[in-house]
Structure 1
């Protein structure tokens, strides 16, 4: 695109042009030089957000306890400079460089560019207005007030919402079982992204059945795992009736007052503990991921929610999780970690930064630092192996 020598009648139009051009091409823009003479601006310049380099005093800070922010600048030279012409009161494109030294951002990733993370006041007001209307429409009703007829309609609405999600997602999966009154008793669903994540990260699965937030007290079962960013990923959801089945079992065999049965029920969260001994569980032995998931659910789900509201809220939570994963992917592809100060292992730090995801890189970096603290004092060659003796610096 050759725009050098072109005129526009205002500097704002040039800024709007470069902003649209940047989004179209896949990079972020920011303002750079602003020349002023007697309070008048005769020249403006906009550059790629990856122009320049981070100041050296902020690159290597060995005594800095907090993890440094990712490095976003790569010395990119792409820019647009315009000057004001006094003779015709127009703005002239004086310089324009379109060559970048980095990968362009894809369309789905444009939302993560810093200058695109702005919500207009009008859009924010509209969202707040809609949220207020929806909150006013919700009423606190008990299960008895809803009645069997409304309960069935609510369940049909929840299943209809899942069917709508299935219609726009070719690999979306939903399955439900009905009770004796033809009402949904057990429901399981997983969207396409969840199924793809399961193929990639389903080596370890956590089942969390501790969350129960809906009008009918149906426990929510969450199938989750850990993805390549060491973040929680969801493989599927299920609304089941474990509590009812357990109560029916106790009533059938008249075990309601049996002390041993009640003790086992209170220990139900530890039933699978024996199967975890000695198994690789990708750091999921703690309840950290489950607690984080419950924290996210509480932001969008309330105890009084009907099934339709409940399922809709879960979809919002899942969308938020996918958004975080895409943002982590963006950070991995378009930034670099702040590498340790130069030493004999600098080449390994650089290779790991380009190969691993960001969270995995920091774990590998720590292991490299630990290994760098040792040296080989002697070694012994044997027929099929070698024994190394190491010492600590």
Structure 2
């Protein structure tokens, strides 16, 4: 009843929720005896023909009214219960006040399949399986051996006429030291997360708070770690269980975007799957991003360098600048590769989402697949290469700091075309690099990077994709490599909200007062 960890019939020791759960199911299938209706092979210690109404236990509320600290062992056997789960919760609450925890053990059913008998034991009942001692090359440090054959037990049987469960055998004789209350609560059988705790955890997780920070915050709220009924490991297990309950990562991501579209009718998303149904590409943008593109989409920065996600897939971000010269995001996509066809598909989705509006200028880092896709999908857009990448390439290809310095002046200098040509050939001849393939290739592409050749083209102040690199550093604060697709999209959208809030603050600064001259 409300316990996160269950230990029914586990003879090997584990620490995670699912290991306990799997062992419990396995034990239920195997360790069940069958008995005839008149089977008396196991004589009960107690056998009731009538029940005292004062000892009825029918709900958790009834259990909560019992003062277990003051109850005597001989009084325990007077209680009777409405079902097996209530009986187990009763025994586990009793166990906590005595310094141990309860575990479900053997069951007996009639030939008709009806449950007739159940016993609950101390968590130290039984012994560790012998085959667990022979496992070599363990990756984890083996857990301490806690099973010591303790014989403490409470057995319950069903009274056929009334359908109530009574205690037929009870023993509180332990062969091991009992724990003090400070430690008893740390036993797996007494650890659980309430619905309120889970709700707090989910809300903080959506806010990007780490599990360690969540646990410290909840401990502070409760008044100390000793007042929490769960450990940090239990939180990790709960999060992992919630992830496994999703019908599928790709399906869940598409379902999440569909749900978002009900609140934002202008949200656009599309995906591409291969022949075997594997999601390969996912593109999305919300209504506000589409509105921003209609106003500020003349200049488009196209970057695919960020790969911090669970599947190491490139995150493509389409960005630009607004009226405050701030970076804004027009759309985003997760792609499986950086091939020409993939980029063409992305730009096609961008055109559909933005009602066919093509950018005037596009800035990239020089990737050839990007260049090909831009020429095919936006043939009239002017393609500019990132100045920062070109300077870095000059350093790596020529290896002379003086050449890099002069190359930078040729690239950014506001020269007439004739002056640019003169300075270029003087530089090339002066350093003796006129036959370098990179130098020849750069001169052929001068219309994509030299200020002398792109004068009059509108780039909204863009000269490099450094805005994209800066944007990646912001994204890194919101997402990490452990996130699945749904979590990645959720936290990426939080990053977009943060960027938009900066615009609101800039709007306030622009209207609240006048600039100092």
User: Per the shorter chain, which TM-score range?
Assistant: 0.3 to 0.5
Larger radius of gyration between Structure 1 and Structure 2: 2
Q: Which has the higher contact order (CA 8 A, sep 6+)?
A: 1
Q: Please report the TM-score for the alignment, with normalisation by the length of structure 1.
A: 0.43
Q: Which has the higher strand share?
A: 1
